[in-house]
Amino acid sequence: MSYERRKTKVGKVVSSKMDKTLVVSVEWRSPHRVYKKNVRKWSRFKVHDENNIGNLGDTVLITESKPYSKTKKWKLSEILQKGDVADLQPTDIVVSGFDDSGKEVSLEVTEEPVVEEEVTEEEPVAEEEVTEEEPVAEEEADEAESGTK
């Protein structure tokens, strides 16, 4: 009778972006060496997921195995609980509230951030000076052309 003496751990999937690989965070507690208070610590393990069945937020059981790569030395044994991940995109969020005067305001989140430009009053005299100089230059050019003909 053969007993497997491989280590097992329970953790939560924090990344499933790689092909056939999950990143699982395992949380554990350890007493502080001076203050003796239990401190939460966590380790992140790369886990081999042959069929790509693990998703973000799932609680999984992982088992120690042969090295699949330099950092991947665990395999997915089973999914204990499916994670609740929102199917909502940031563009679907509508925020509502009240402004200073008590009126209800709703804002929709868009992909592009809305930037309000500050309106600064520049010297209108400068614009008028530019418009006055241009016709003078045209008149001089017209006079020069008519004088040569």
In a domain, 96, yes or no: no
pLDDT digits (tens, 9 = 90+) for 47-66: 999 999 999 999 999 999 99
Cα–Cα nearest to 23, from 65, 74, 67, 70: 74
Average pLDDT over residues 107-132: 57
In a domain, 87, yes or no: no
In a domain, 148, yes or no: no
In a domain, 77, yes or no: yes
In a domain, 37, yes or no: yes
What integer pLDDT is reported at residue 140 of this predicted model?
62
pLDDT digits (tens, 9 = 90+) for 65-115: 999 999 999 999 999 999 876 666 666 666 666 777 777 776 665 556 555
pLDDT digits (tens, 9 = 90+) for 133-145: 555 555 665 666 6
Instruction: Choose the weakest-confidence range: 22-26, 39-43, 138-142.
Output: 138-142
Q: How many domains does the chain have?
A: 1
Task: Print the domain residue range for 61.
Answer: 8-81
Q: How far apart are CA 79 and CA 61, in angstroms?
A: 6
In a domain, 107, yes or no: no
Cα maximum dimension of the chain: 116
This prediction has a pTM of: 0.56
What integer pLDDT is reported at residue 143 of this predicted model?
62
In a domain, 99, yes or no: no
In a domain, 117, yes or no: no
14: domain CATH number? 2.40.50.140
